[in-house]
Amino acid sequence: MTTISLVAGNCGRGRGYEDGRFEFRSNLYLGKDFLASDLFNNNPFRRRANGCLSKALKGFENGNGRRFRVIARVKKGKKHDYPWPDNIDLDIKDGHLTYLSHFKPLAEKPKPVTLPFEKPLVDLEKKIIEVCRMADETGLDFTDQIGALENKYQQALKDLYTHLTPIQRLAIARHPNRPTALDHILNITEKWVELHGDRAGYDDPAMVTGIGTMDGKSYMFIGQQKGRNTKENIFRNFAMPTPHGYRKALRMMKYADHHGLPIITFVDTPGAYADLKSEELGQGEAIAHNLRTMFGLKVPIVTVVVGEGGSGGALAIACPNKLFMLENSVLYVASPEACAAILWKSSQAAPKAAEKLRITAQEHYKRKIADGIIPEPLGGAHADPVWTSQQIRFAITRAMDELTKMDTEELLRHRMLKFRSIGGFQEGKPVEPERKRNMKPSDASMLNAADIESDLEKLKKNILEAKVPSDPITEKAIEKLKQDVDNEVTRAFISMGLQEKHESLKLELSRASDNQTLNRNLKVKVDKLMQEFKQNLSRPGTYLGLKQKLEKLSMVSRLIEQKEKGEKLKAEVNQKIPSEIKEKLEQLQTAQANLSKGDPLDEDLVAEAVKAKKELIEVLKSANLEIVGVAKRKAAAELQEKIVNVKKEIDGEIERVIDVAGLHGKIEELKAEMAIDSSSPKVEKLQAEIKEEIRTSLDDTALKQKVENLRREFATSSEEVIDDKVIAENGRW
């Protein structure tokens, strides 16, 4: 491209001549049509030493009769946007058209990066290097030592990479030196031409597309491209495509569909780019359009997840007939860090989230989301990129051989059935309209349900077994409980947005006088505030810690009240019962103890006991106490029936959770392992996994409430009914 700089006008920087003519320079650019006949005709122009062309134009005169001179400089632009070769071979038979791609060999070899869990291997490597250095310096033979260390290193490497956790596989998938989509494409293709642009104004470098050949067959390649260093990552936007990238992929898919080229996609992205500009340009619409279009393409599609596949950004090019995943690749709907921040309010819980999300290739293959796992060398794909690429090529070739035998209808149905078979379905079981989840807010100081129940049982025991009304240990525990409730209530007021109203009311109450009207107004405000607080508190699934502690405090208050009433009534009755009757009752208790040991029953003692009981009733009547009745220990048949019913409900809920979570396979595996060795570590691990999955999926709020009600009923019945003693209920006997 050539541009011409024309200079004209009088701006005070010109050069003067004797005839009054001037030469000036400015930034006026004109095309070839302006003065074309004069520009390319050298006769009228005078060439200067600085490469400028000048001409005095006729007819260009000012009011003083002075004429203008125009200076034109020819400027040469960039020859090509890409570094095209000077001589292009039009009969190229193989290789890659590198001048059509920004992807060039790195000037420097990438620096080795050690992941945190690989530190034991680094220590062994250092030992091997140190021994080799000593051998070179001293000239001694350390072959045996080096061989032993290398064997130990290989064994440690094998042990480490055959027992990777999900979060460790995620770290490998994100390794800076992991082969990218273009690395694999260049390794597996004989010829490769990269294609650019979405024909809507932009070529997104985060999404690469092109045509390549394998075994003489042409394929359309589409992939998300990460950078190999910081500069490339910035250029590639860390493999996070914009809407232009997805529309570029869509254009190439339609091109491949039109020309009958099978499509191969490589997934390696943390997700679609979610900045404001991308949302304005229709990021969601671009992804949705890709999803819809891919299910209607009439050519085979194979997808390989080579790194990490994040949410819809990965799925936009991953609706294939066959989905393969590298051994250490991951595919997720939300990153473990984001999931941990949402559920546990801390990214430190990312390892737990990674395990729960089931993001690994092994989990996806088990659930029939992935159709195969492509092996990687020990140490990850970056340890031997070429070998990994060849494994990808073998998997793609086998899949394409199978898919190309199908006609169009079979191909479309095969793709549809693949996605329809993902997940599980249940028929004939009622669906709960609303399942309450324990999505509690972040409060690290809040006790869990087990701790609260344990503290409550201890308090009950201390209150009921205390021989004096005021027990220092119990009072201290109750005071601590009250302080916890006060703190929880304060936090609840803040989270509900009622703190300002609360503080304002406190200030008004502190300034309130004895004026009845003012007090009534304050009472209305207090009632209104408390009503709003209770309404917010009553919402299901909210402020669970506060609700548990309030219930605990209420129960403790009732127990203390009952204990005080019982002690007071017991003291009054004991004062009115004669000592002779007390002695007879003690003899009766001794006889009952002997009878339980198998001693014969004394008929005279029985008669005395009946007489003592009648006398006791008369004493109580004389003390103006109402006699409700005399009973032996209450039969536990009713309680036993309730316990059985609750147990059946719990068992049924656990069975439902096992069906939903698909744990039957694990349970059968556990039974088989227990038959071999019930104390093996694998049995313990399986038991822990099954318990954890059941605990996670079980909605136990209602069941816990029923169990707690049974406990209260049993405790009440134990307190109210005493063997061969007079019943005490609400101050009546």
Q: Which two tokens stand for residue 245?
A: 């990238």
- Residues 369-396, mean pLDDT to the nearest whole number: 93
- Residues 637-666, mean pLDDT to the nearest whole number: 75
The pLDDT of residue 181 is above 90: yes
pLDDT score for 6: 43
pLDDT score for 675: 73
More confident residue, 243 or 623: 243
Q: Which two tokens stand for residue 522?
A: 């304050």
d(CA 313, CA 237): 13
Which segments of 181-224 does DSSP mark as H helices, in order? 181-188
How far apart, in Å, are the Cα atoms of 238 and each of 13, 113, 382, 438, 548?
Answer: 50, 18, 18, 36, 47
Burial class (CB in 10 A: 0-12, 13-18, 19+), 179: buried
pLDDT score for 183: 93
Q: How many CB atoms lie within 10 A of CB 12?
A: 7
Burial class (CB in 10 A: 0-12, 13-18, 19+), 514: exposed
pLDDT score for 261: 96
More confident residue, 187 or 539: 187
pLDDT score for 453: 53
- Residues 672-687, mean pLDDT to the nearest whole number: 76
Beta bridge partners of 73: 5, 52
Nearest residue to 704 (alpha-carbon basis) of 373, 500, 436? 436
pLDDT score for 404: 93
The sign one gets for the Cα dihedral 640, 643, 648, 649 is positive
d(CA 169, CA 171): 5
pLDDT band at 323 (very low <50, low <70, confident <90, very high): very high
More confident residue, 569 or 400: 400
pLDDT score for 298: 95
pLDDT score for 51: 46
Name the least confident of 73-82, 147-156, 360-369, 578-587. 73-82
d(CA 386, CA 589): 89
Residue pair 267/306 in contact (Cβ under 8 Å)? The answer is yes
pLDDT score for 224: 95
Highest mean pLDDT among 18-22, 157-161, 205-209: 205-209
pLDDT score for 330: 95
> DSSP class of residue 334?
S
Query: Taking the C-alpha atoms of 247, 248, 250 and 252 in order, what is their torsion angle to the nearest 10 degrees?
Result: 160
pLDDT score for 346: 81
More confident residue, 431 or 406: 406
CA atoms within 13 A on the CB side of 364: 26
More confident residue, 48 or 604: 604
170-179 pLDDT, tens digit each: 999 999 999 9
Whole-number percent of the chain with pLDDT over 90: 29
The gap between the terminal CA atoms of the chain, to the nearest Å, is 111
Indicate the pairing of strand 67-76 with strand 52-61. Answer: antiparallel
Tokens 């005021």 locate to 470
The pLDDT of residue 676 is above 70: yes
Its CATH class, for the domain covering 167-421, is alpha beta
d(CA 685, CA 669): 12
The pLDDT of residue 1 is above 60: no
Residue ranges per domain, the chain? 167-421
Maximum separation of any 2 CA atoms in the chain, in Å: 157
Tokens 């990687």 locate to 376
Q: Which two tokens stand for residue 628?
A: 């409700």
Residue pair 327/363 in contact (Cβ under 8 Å)? The answer is no
Name the least confident of 121-135, 538-552, 630-644. 630-644
pLDDT band at 11 (very low <50, low <70, confident <90, very high): very low
Residue pair 61/107 in contact (Cβ under 8 Å)? The answer is no
